Amino acid sequence: MRVYFILLYVCVVSANDKELEEEIQRRKIIEQLTRTRTVLLDDYHLVTRQIATDVYMYRSYRTVSVVFYPVMRDVTDARFTFQSEELHLNTIGSCSPQQVIVNIKHGSYPAVNPDGYDFPKNFVDPATREDIHTLELLSDGKNRTYSITNPRPGNWYALVYIKWEDPRTQKVEQQGLVADCQTILYTDLQVQREEKIELIDCYHGLTVEYSRIPATFKCMSVDSIEPISFNLTVVNTSSQNTEVSVQLQALSLPTEENYLINCAFDPRANNIQTITFSPHASAWHYIHIDHIDNASKVADCESYYLRTDLQEVDNITVLDLMRDDKGRFFTFDYGLPTADLQDATSLINITSGETKSLRFKVNQFLDIGGSLSIEASLLMSLKYYMGYKRELKKGALLAFTEDNQFLRAVICMDLGHTSTPLASGHCKFNDIVKPALFVLNSTDSETIYDKVIIPFPDSGTWYLTLKIFCDQVVCPCRSSGDGTYYVSDTVDEGEEDSSASWNNTRQGVSDCNATVVLSVSSTSCVSGRCSNHGNCLLNTFGGLVMSFCSCTAGYGGWDCSDDSRMDSRVYMLVSILLLTLSNILFIFSIYVAIIRLYYTEAMMYAFTMVFSTFYHACDAPAQVAYCIVRGNILQFGDFYCGLMSFWVTLLAMSIVGEKFRSSFQLIGAIIIALLTTWNMHSFVAFVAPVAVGVFILLLSWYLDFRKSKLMRYPRSYYTIYMPLGIVLVSVGLICYAFLQTEQNYKIVHSIWHMIIALSVVFLLPDVRRNDATNPFVPSPNYCRLPFCRVFNRSRGISTD
């Protein structure tokens, strides 16, 4: 009954302490946040705010926090406010400001590598995607603002985390010995909108009086990628007027850096300008007309009239891809509509005189948390796949297409619009020229196939535009030594063997056709997995979900394939041997406990040795780990038996009767089990039983001395053995609590094992034996003690 009430009390106290701790933390957050005031700026509108976002040290995408900001149309300035501070949740020490990193991006989560690992080779170049705005601030309670001029409307996402530090150099801190600090972030978004924007028709002319300049207009394009010819007329000019600049941008107001068209003209010489541009489909377009002093810095608007490179857009065929959903997070395919339930791969037949554009949609929130994989290949003849060597015809190396054609396929990828594929392997959209996503050559086995992976794809409509270019020149064709590809170029003037090269000439063609194999798919993480060295997990925050790789065995990187920071196998073996073999010294503790007749204590030391050995063997990197059962079971056994060893040792040192000692041992076993289950890493779970044990020890010594006026144990125990044991325990606790880092953990923790095992040898009092002369040597009559007679009786019974 007494034990029952003690257990009930412990459970109630533990529950109340946890609720009290949460209530105190909540009050501290509210108290600190009451000092935070949102400062509303004139002409700004408060859109959203988050008052208490927890921020953690970056370890993987598991430890990042995400903040969501909706931005409406016609915004000229988006002003993000951040205030980070430290919550001190206990009374130990003080909290130092942390360096908080904020990455802001439009359309999807920012794909970053704060730990310095490189992206995998197939990942799309981050420079070709939407800009990631980065802000660094200290968690010192001071406000920081970050403004984005003329932001794109839609969803913006901020990734928040404490700056990454190499965990191998960080100190291992014990809960309850250091300050308990939590970094929180307050953030809000205020926007300023342009109210004076006149609505016009993109497909009709615009007439504006010079006196109304500067002026801003907007119009909506139809669901088409055909070029728009826009007529602009400026009236009522005079000789004193200056030239006029025209900036045009899709989705948002134009800036000096972001625009589709930026040109100037003199309305006094020609007040009517026709500007032709490629639009975004079904999107708002903004036109800003202003005065300009130096028109030589921008293009002449005359150059945008009837541009020949835009006429090619008329031949584009747009095909909508079908979504093939797999019913799992971020798992779906896109392909041409088909009744085939097994495969959504698209086969696109294309000739040299046409351009085809495939479009598909990535949904906001639902699709942006995975990785989009795009693969493309030229469909080759059967000879290519069977490994035949290429044919030679008149000394020229032929391709492996069905008709032995020489061609190049250029594939462009764009978000919200199409680009024009160029023979140079680039893509052009108005004045923007960028490298193509894929350039596939029929004569080069290394570029027949290509693949890219886009982590956290942006929401919106994506376009893949394809065009093939025939080899239309007569040229020398020098093939590689192994005959795997040819090089089409002119012969250098200084080339010695020009005749040999000229013998390999061939006649080009103007018409060609090909079949392009295209696969567009989305999966969690990278292809639904994390190489062989991690687990693909999901992180959720406020309804937002993203997939990420949790790496194991020392691997790192986006897909857990980077082993650059992994320790060598020899180092890992040495580390695990140190942590496991250091427990061998507990054999000495067990031996001393047995010869001094402490059998319960000896069993506890034996269990501690076994659980500690197998736990550290299981907690090692996967390459050298060995687990006899699940790791959490071994971890519980290690912590529990370690605390129980301290408890039974302190009771053995106490001067109490056997009935009280056994009762205390049982009560301690139950309470320590509860504490270990509650939080085995907490300093309270360690200090509470040790403090109670020390109290019982000192109280029993005091009561015994007051009763008998004598010291119960031999003088040598108080003057030699116990002080030496206390010194060893103190050194061990200092190593365990203050000296451990991730880098030296194997050595320091192994020393902790050995010191604690040795300290027991000196702390256990040798008072149960009457004929002992040396505390480390068995008694002469040890085999005639009751413990030995148990085995003698067993042998006698078995022989009868």
pLDDT at 8: 42
pLDDT at 475: 45
Q: Which amino acid is at 20?
A: L
CA torsion sign for 680, 682, 685, 686 is positive
Other CB atoms closer than 10 Å to residue 283's CB: what's the count?
Answer: 18
pLDDT at 716: 87
CA-based R_g, the chain, Å: 38
Domains and CATH numbers, the chain: 36-192 (2.60.120), 198-306 (no CATH), 317-491+499-523 (no CATH), 569-768 (1.20.1070)
pLDDT at 76: 92
Judged on CB neighbours under 10 Å (0-12, 13-18, 19+), 121 is exposed
H runs (alpha helix) in 554-629: 569-581, 586-595, 599-618
pLDDT at 211: 87
Other CB atoms closer than 10 Å to residue 391's CB: what's the count?
Answer: 12
Q: Which amino acid is at 706?
A: R
CA angle at 12 for the pair 11 and 16, rounded to the nearest 5°: 120
Q: Which residues contact 700 (CB under 8 A, 6 or more apart)?
A: 654, 655, 656
pLDDT at 411: 94
CA 166 to chain centre: 15
Indicate the helix (H) or strand (E) that contains 348: strand 346-351
H runs (alpha helix) in 619-682: 631-653, 658-679
Other CB atoms closer than 10 Å to residue 369's CB: what's the count?
Answer: 25
Q: Which residues of the chain have pLDDT under 70?
A: 1-37, 170-177, 306-314, 341, 382-404, 472-509, 741-742, 771-773, 781-800
Residues 333 and 336: their CA atoms lie apart, in Å, by 10
First to last CA, the chain: 44
Q: Which amino acid is at 611?
A: F
DSSP letter assigned to residue 309: G
The structure's pTM equals 0.79
Q: Which has the closest alpha carbon to 582: 362, 758, 445?
A: 758
Provide the strand spans (E) within 56-173: 65-71, 75-88, 99-106, 133-138, 143-149, 154-162
Other CB atoms closer than 10 Å to residue 460's CB: what's the count?
Answer: 19
What are the C-alpha distances in Å from 654 to residues 599, 712, 765? 16, 10, 9
Which pair of structure tokens corresponds to residue 240?
A: 């004193």
Residue that has been written with the tokens 């030995």 in this structure:
788
